[in-house]
Amino acid sequence: MTAASRTRVAVVISHLTIGGAEQLLLELLRHIDREKFDLHLIFLREPGILGKEMLHMGFPTTTGVIRYKFDMAGVFKLARLLTNFQIDTVFLINHLNTLFFGVLAAKLAGVSRCINWGNETYKRYPLHPLTMFGRRILHLGIDVVVAAAEGHGGYIVAEEKIPRAKVRTIYNGVDPERFQSRLSPQEARRRLGIPPESLVVSIVAALRPDKAHHIFLQAARKVADAMPETHFLVIGDGPQMPFLTALSRELHLEHQVHFLGFQRQLGDIFAAVDINCLSSYPQQETLSVAAIEAMSAGIPIICTDVGFMKEIVIPGQTGFLAPVGEPNALAATIIFLLRHDALRQRMRLAARSLVLDKLSVQHMTRQFEALIR
């Protein structure tokens, strides 16, 4: 395909820290067909931790478009970039500032198509009613809003007052092969310093208050009382690390809870895991990428009934849902599943099958390619 026939896309990003939505964008860029699309990455601010990985992917990249939060000169600078690159489609990553600067710049530059990839749910902004009103106005300049799940699309229509005709659902997707391992569960546990015959429960999430790791640790205490051979992996990093490590000691779990920090290579770790948990509060949780990653490795999920997780965590098939903020209920569900090996094995197969059928990065990328073109 000639350069003239490729679709020219500007991907407008605020900055990329460690998180599920950021990982989704990274995977999309890795798998998009470069024979069909010319992508230019535009960071409004500096790239951030995951953004730096993108700098090595070979895409033309511009950083530091704005100097401060409401730098109106940045609108004109971004519009000039879109004009100079002869952009056909502006692809926004749903941070508030990309919506503000991206929509205004796209209109100034006369870009024909503007897509916003939504990934937030139940987020409360400062001056929330005013902010939501501003978002609705800006979305008048958006042609398509991409939702992460069917329920998320309904939420966007109801909460942001966006016409249903503008909303498309593209489920979050991961690369299943990235989470496979040749290690046996016993060998994987030995590498983590865990007795090879132990049962292992994990949580993969940034250590932030909305992920409610304290609920997971309180549940872990109850699981350990009932099944002392169980170990727990906390995978992720963030501002709550000191609080959570101290809570682990207070609960006398320091020998059974293993804080592994942020991990890019999860396959060999997942090989050790029997169940993966998500203990989140409703704020910001939409469709957990970490849960899908674990499912791709054939791990059943026990998670709080938040966001739109019920679309992929199907009770009795791929996992179980638990009420929010109730460590007793979370613990009871973990204990039940740990004690039912045959059910857990059926769930392992069903979880991986669902990812392959519906939640793979290949499936996600094909849908985005069709939408952009």
Tens-digit pLDDT profile for residues 134-191: 888 999 999 999 999 999 999 999 988 899 999 999 999 999 999 999 999 999 999 9
Percentage with pLDDT > 90 across the chain: 80
Check residue 126 and give its pLDDT: 80
Check residue 121 and give its pLDDT: 77
Please name the residues in contact with 25: beta carbons below 8 A apart, sequence gap of 6 or more: 11, 13, 16, 93, 117
On the question of pLDDT at 50 being above 90, the answer is no
Q: Which residue has the higher pLDDT, 214 or 264?
A: 214
Can you name the residues that pair with 200 across neighbouring β-strands? 231
User: What is the arithmetic mean of pLDDT over 44-62?
Assistant: 88
Indicate the residue among 153, 169, 185 that finishes a domain: 169
40 pLDDT band (50/70/90 cuts)? Answer: very high
Domain count, the chain: 2
Residue 96: inside a domain, yes or no? yes
User: What is the arithmetic mean of pLDDT over 64-75?
Assistant: 92
Instruction: For residues 243 and 353, state if they share a domain.
Output: yes
Domain limits at 262? 176-358
3-state secondary structure the chain: CCHHHCEEEEEEECCCCCCHHHHHHHHHHHHCCCCCEEEEEEECCCCHHHHHHHCCCCCCEECCCCCCCCCCHHHHHHHHHHHHCCCCEEEEECCHHHHHHHHHHHHHHCCCEEEEECCCCCCCCCCHHHHHHHHHHHHHHCCEEEECCHHHHHHHHHHHCCCHHHEEECCCCECHHHHCCCCCHHHHHHHCCCCCCCEEEEEECCCCHHHCHHHHHHHHHHHHHHCCCEEEEEECCCCCHHHHHHHHHHCCCCCCEEEEECCCCCHHHHCCCCEEEECCCCCCCCCCHHHHHHHHCCCCEEEECCCCHHHCCCECCCEEEECCCCHHHHHHHHHHHHCCHHHHHHHHHHHHHHHHHHCEHHHHHHHHHHHHC
Please name the residues in contact with 206: beta carbons below 8 A apart, sequence gap of 6 or more: 18, 19, 236, 237, 238
Lowest mean pLDDT among 92-96, 187-191, 251-255: 92-96
On the question of pLDDT at 329 being above 60, the answer is yes
Instruction: For residues 157 and 182, state if they share a domain.
Output: no
Residue 257: inside a domain, yes or no? yes
On the question of pLDDT at 213 being above 70, the answer is yes
Instruction: For residues 180 and 165, state if they share a domain.
Output: no
Check residue 75 and give its pLDDT: 96
Residue 126: inside a domain, yes or no? yes
Q: In what order do the strands lie in the sheet with 199-204?
A: 257-261, 230-235, 199-204, 275-278, 301-304, 319-322
Indicate the residue among 147, 169, 191 that finishes a domain: 169
Integer angstrom CA distances of residue 252 from 126, 197, 277, 329: 38, 21, 20, 20
Check residue 1 and give its pLDDT: 57
User: What is the arithmetic mean of pLDDT over 65-92?
Assistant: 95
Give the burial string for 155-182 (b: 16+ CB within 10 Å, else e).
bbbeeeebeeebbebbbbbbbbeebbbe
Amino acid letter, 327 = P
Residue 370: inside a domain, yes or no? no
Tens-digit pLDDT profile for residues 278-317: 999 987 788 999 999 999 999 999 999 999 999 999 999 9
Instruction: For residues 16 and 162, state if they share a domain.
Output: yes
CATH number, position 282: 3.40.50.2000
Residue 371: inside a domain, yes or no? no
On the question of pLDDT at 129 being above 60, the answer is yes
On the question of pLDDT at 3 being above 70, the answer is no
On the question of pLDDT at 232 being above 70, the answer is yes
Average pLDDT, the chain: 93
CA 108 – CA 231 distance, rounded (Å): 56
Tens-digit pLDDT profile for residues 117-127: 988 777 777 88
Check residue 197 and give its pLDDT: 96
Check residue 228 and give its pLDDT: 97
Instruction: For residues 183 and 164, state if they share a domain.
Output: no
On the question of pLDDT at 220 being above 80, the answer is yes
Residue 372: inside a domain, yes or no? no
Check residue 36 and give its pLDDT: 95
Instruction: For residues 157 and 216, state if they share a domain.
Output: no
Check residue 133 and give its pLDDT: 87
Instruction: For residues 21 and 113, state if they share a domain.
Output: yes
Instruction: For residues 36 and 184, state if they share a domain.
Output: no
Residue 373: inside a domain, yes or no? no
User: What is the arithmetic mean of pLDDT over 1-18?
Assistant: 82
On the question of pLDDT at 203 being above 60, the answer is yes
Check residue 85 and give its pLDDT: 95
Instruction: For residues 124 and 222, state if they share a domain.
Output: no
Check residue 11 and give its pLDDT: 96
Indicate the residue among 169, 184, 203 that finishes a domain: 169
Instruction: For residues 228 and 138, state if they share a domain.
Output: no
Check residue 125 and give its pLDDT: 75
Instruction: For residues 155 and 55, state if they share a domain.
Output: yes
268 pLDDT band (50/70/90 cuts)? Answer: very high
Check residue 118 and give its pLDDT: 85
User: What is the arithmetic mean of pLDDT over 320-333?
Assistant: 98
Residue 98: inside a domain, yes or no? yes
Instruction: For residues 113 and 226, state if they share a domain.
Output: no
Check residue 18 and give its pLDDT: 67
Q: Which residue has the tokens 């056909």?
A: 88
CA 253 – CA 247 distance, rounded (Å): 9
